[in-house]
Chain A
């Protein structure tokens, strides 16, 4: 039982790092970035290409993926989302165009990775890092799992508290509540949006590197599967609540692990998403969302 809980915590930590970036942009600057999965994949792919040329330790690989993720997300904001938002006459129209724009942006890195790898799995075999297996109180885990759990929970709580207490976090939340009023109060929306997207991309890159180390390899399409899960996590936790995202990630991972432990693997998606559906029926705003639409 304890081993299953540990497995769920490890899986939830990966979901959390991935979903945090998406939730951050969605709940503050109102960008539901459908290119987040492609950013995650292409960051790991960039690190994969570099490790094929140079043998690098884990921290260097993670740093490359984080930098690549931040760069991709920044470019996405500058070249796609920024112009869409400037040209949109109303918020709802902008949201829809951003959603479609994100799908379009995602197709580019996906096509490049598929072309280069012929859609074969890729990983960090060129890295000098080798996962070590150890046991604590009868629980078997790897050093990769340990890094993921510490990073996932640490960054999750860190982002949550930063948004709740820091000056910039408060400014971001103000944009999430009412961007026009926030601008009148002196909040530089454009700069904060750029910074938020860069942070969101960096988190996608971090998730890409950590998950690739954990799984051994990912495929170009792996980001799409995580994107759906992240979407579900944000909705389950409640849009606008970082605490909700943390809880949502572990609830989804726990449900999946439970179904797998019961040897009912084909029911994983049905049970997990059914559970989310049930929660939303009883509490449409999600577990920690507020009834009125207020972001973060």
Chain B
């Protein structure tokens, strides 16, 4: 049975009124939460989301990045850097080491119109998966770590971690200076960053500096015992061993290398920073590695960052925290430079700041496109902490 015409009109009018009320309520809600992120200008609250691992196999990178960002936000808000009463806020969402979770959380985050920008996943595969998504949604996203190809691929994707290969020549320069000419390389060939250095940039840099790579030994990410490869390396008795391995692998390889009788110089990577060599005990002492940041840096910015971080978290910052800190300051400078916290405004600002560069905790920061570059520094692990080897670069 059809309803009378008058009642149908009344129902339609009621539905329209409810829709209008709902839209007004939602926009009011958006405004109360910091404004719709596509509006130009700088609102009182600028809402950010951190979508990165807080648990899982590489939780240390996500936790470090989040802590560094948190410290930067407190400084930015306290100093009124973006104007009186303007606050940056961030909510951290755990991707738990899963590509699927990262993808789902990013889909939700990019759909939230109150979110101005995102601090993206630290794992390369997660980051590469979500990079096209942030372009479609046009949400500026700054990644830390995430060294894989396919991460910084459009105008909305940015990275606050310099590729390791871009400053690894500090290692080859050092070996050449110390006349450690014969070098054996032990590298994880299934870890993209190490594969690229081990097979690509390191042989070229070694040739430029007159080093002779006498052997190059690839292993997998699943390799746990290094007795066989390190015995071969120890038998070669090179002047130095370049070790491009993950955290647990490096502790094992170092221990077994020393037990195999090798007592020469070991050159590692920033992955061994942040106290990751502690478990190697005496076997880790004397290992040298280039890194984008060290708490041993002596520049004023670095010292201030280390002191503030220690005061807030009760421990020294690692590279991940420094990258999170400088990444957040990049974002704040971008908002200030463009005069807008809208997604488009932040995008414009990030590109503008990238053209100019700025001074951060990691030193004088420059950019290649949307990708950060750092001077880098060479440090030595003394068994309990890092000490500077080179006084150039970021020191």
Point out residues on A near B: beta carbons under 8 Å: 3-4, 7, 10-11, 14, 111, 114-115, 118-123, 125, 131, 133, 140, 142, 211, 214-222, 225-226, 257, 260-261, 263-266, 268-269
Contact = CB atoms under 8 A, between A and B. Distances in A.
A265 B231 contact: no
A122 B248 CA distance: 8
B265 interface: no
A7 B259 CA distance: 13
A114 B61 CA distance: 12
Interface string B38-76: 000000000000000001111110010000000000000
Contacts of A140: 231, 260-261
B224 A121 contact: no
A265 B220 contact: yes
Contacts of B85: none
Contacts of A217: 248, 251-252, 279-280
B247 interface: yes
B223 interface: yes
9 contacts: A4-B228, A7-B227, A111-B55, A120-B275, A216-B255, A216-B280, A261-B232, A263-B217, A266-B190
Nearest to A253: B225
B279 A219 contact: no
Interface in B193-233: 215, 217-220, 222-225, 227-229, 231-232
B57 A268 contact: no
Nearest to A220: B57
B228 A261 contact: yes
A264 B231 CA distance: 15
B59 A10 contact: no
Interface string B237-266: 000000000011001101110011100000
Nearest to A135: B261
A122 B228 contact: no
B306 interface: no
Contacts of B63: 118
A266 B57 contact: no
B259 A131 contact: yes
Contacts of A260: 219, 223, 228-229
A226 B224 CA distance: 9
B220 A218 contact: no
Interface residue tally on B, bucketed by range: 35 or more
Contacts of A219: 57, 247-248
B281 interface: yes
A120 B279 CA distance: 10
B125 interface: no
Contacts of B101: none
Nearest to B216: A263
B97 to A, nearest CB: 8
**Complex A-B, nearest 4 residue pairs according to Cβ-Cβ distance, in ascending order:** A216-B255, A121-B248, A265-B219, A217-B279
A225 to B, nearest CB: 5
B336 interface: no
Contacts of B227: 7, 10-11
B316 interface: no
Contacts of A125: 278-279, 281
A128 to B, nearest CB: 12
Nearest to A14: B225
A268 B55 contact: no
B288 interface: no
A219 B246 CA distance: 10
B390 interface: no
Contacts of A7: 227-228, 231
B254 to A, nearest CB: 7
A224 to B, nearest CB: 10
Contacts of B55: 111, 114-115
Contacts of B247: 120-121, 219
Contacts of B33: none
Contacts of A14: 225
A261 to B, nearest CB: 5
A198 to B, nearest CB: 26
Interface in B119-154: none
Contact of B255 (A211, A215, A220, A265): A215
A218 B251 CA distance: 9
A171 B256 CA distance: 43
Contacts of A214: 225
B354 interface: no
A208 B215 CA distance: 33
Contact of B220 (A221, A226, A269): A269
A221 B222 CA distance: 10
Contacts of B215: 263
